[in-house]
Amino acid sequence: MFNLLKQGIMKRVFNFKTMLAIAVSVMLTNGLIAQTHPGTTIPGTPANLATEYAASTVQGTTYMVEGASVPLFAMPDGYYHPNYDAAAGVYTLTDGFTWDWEEATLNITFSNDGVDDNYTVATAGAGTAGSYTVHVEEVAPPAWGGCSDAGQDLAVVVVVTPASTLGGNAALEYCDGDAGIPIVMNQTISDGWQEYDVVWRLQIHTLDNVGAIDFYYDDETGANPQAAQYYAEDYPTTAPNRFAASGVHDIMTVGSFEVINSQSTVYTYELISINDQALRFGDFIALGGDDTDPSAFTYNAIGEAVSVTIHPSPTTGPIYHINSGWAN
């Protein structure tokens, strides 16, 4: 009887210890899932994050200019991070999970790598134009088995900073009616990616008979003469001229190069600076995702000018001779 009673007591103690251990384990597990920390705040506003990050999270390919940095984030697992909601601007992550970022050639480096943050800033070194693969894996902590899957890949194309040229600085002079007078003014855009914003302007003015600037004009017809300097065409950084693709683009906005008011007339085209969509991507972090002010973007300086001066042909006067009545 005593042994049976002893066995019953020991069984109850064992069961109690087992239940206690299970309870402690559950408490620890629940504690692990409840321990959270705020992840890095992603630049931009919650209202437009979905579209701002479309190129890097949906399309599978993104572009950047060599020497520039762009933001990337890996969407955390919804099961392990139930409080994370990027669309709402809530970046709460569960403790212990890390994200491993890598790029095989090391030409792209990462601000966060192997730490408990799903956000990183990728930077391409100078002179690294080419195609790369960025890889990321979310890794669970040992308490959750230390698991990770095959991860995700992102194709990254690094491009050279965009440029444009008129063929070099030049001062061209022609006589009115010369067959060689240009009929186009071509700029050639190269490198970069797409959606080029070019800052340029055209000034038209006439010269007086000592070669000084006389009046400024709207176009080759001599419309709106003004004594003060202004530009017939002007595309500043606040409203640059957009070109969808690289290549040759004619920016001649006058019908032809004409003489105005029978005076030497100077048409001066100036290419000032350029950017493209990839270069603007590099401004995302600094601007917090705000793309409403074009003048806030980074522009690559050009500094080329071509002037075309059309001189009126001199009008030959009559030949004077001795009056036929002299010494008659």
Q: Is residue 252 part of a domain?
A: yes
Do residues 68 and 113 both lie within one domain?
yes
Q: Which of 126, 159, 192 is the last residue of a domain?
A: 159
Do residues 18 and 130 both lie within one domain?
no
Q: Is residue 319 part of a domain?
A: no
> What percentage of residues in the chain have a pLDDT greater than 70?
85
Whole-number pLDDT of residue 150: 94
Contacts with 74 (C-beta within 8 Å, 6 or more apart), sequence order: 99, 118, 136, 138, 152
Is the pTM for the entire model greater than 0.85? Answer: no
Most confident of 17-26, 80-89, 291-300: 291-300
Place 41 in a pLDDT band, splitting at 50, 70 and 90. confident
Q: Which of 142, 159, 176 is the last residue of a domain?
A: 159
Question: Residue 9 above 50 pLDDT?
Answer: no
Q: Which of 159, 189, 204 is the last residue of a domain?
A: 159
Whole-number pLDDT of residue 49: 65
The residues facing 36 across adjacent strands are 94
Place 288 in a pLDDT band, splitting at 50, 70 and 90. confident
Taking the C-alpha atoms of residue 283 and residue 73, their distance in angstroms, rounded to an integer, is 17
Containing structural domain, residue 13: 2-34
Question: Residue 81 above 90 pLDDT?
Answer: yes
Contacts with 271 (C-beta within 8 Å, 6 or more apart), sequence order: 164, 165, 166, 187, 198, 199, 200, 302, 303, 304, 305
Do residues 296 and 181 both lie within one domain?
yes
Over residues 62-79, the pLDDT tens digits come to 999 999 999 999 999 999
Q: What is the number of other CB atoms lying within 10 angstroms of the CB of residue 89?
A: 13
Q: Is residue 134 part of a domain?
A: yes
Place 31 in a pLDDT band, splitting at 50, 70 and 90. very low
Place 290 in a pLDDT band, splitting at 50, 70 and 90. confident
Do residues 252 and 307 both lie within one domain?
yes
Span 46-64, mean pLDDT? 68
Do residues 23 and 136 both lie within one domain?
no
Do residues 190 and 242 both lie within one domain?
yes
Q: Is residue 286 part of a domain?
A: yes
Q: How many domains does the chain have?
A: 3
Taking the C-alpha atoms of residue 321 and residue 328, their distance in angstroms, rounded to an integer, is 15
Do residues 181 and 306 both lie within one domain?
yes
Do residues 30 and 73 both lie within one domain?
no
Whole-number pLDDT of residue 58: 56
Q: Is residue 324 part of a domain?
A: no
Average pLDDT, the chain: 88
Span 99-126, mean pLDDT? 96
Question: Residue 16 above 50 pLDDT?
Answer: no
Do residues 107 and 75 both lie within one domain?
yes
Over residues 137-185, the pLDDT tens digits come to 999 999 999 999 999 999 999 999 999 999 999 999 999 999 999 999 9
Whole-number pLDDT of residue 90: 87
CA 81 to chain centre: 32
Helices (H), 71-157: none
Do residues 214 and 254 both lie within one domain?
yes
CATH number, position 168: 2.60.40
Whole-number pLDDT of residue 30: 44
Whole-number pLDDT of residue 46: 65
Over residues 210-258, the pLDDT tens digits come to 999 999 999 999 999 999 999 999 999 999 999 999 999 999 999 999 9
Do residues 63 and 195 both lie within one domain?
no
Question: Residue 45 above 90 pLDDT?
Answer: no
CATH number, position 98: 2.60.40.10
Q: Is residue 180 part of a domain?
A: yes
Do residues 118 and 177 both lie within one domain?
no
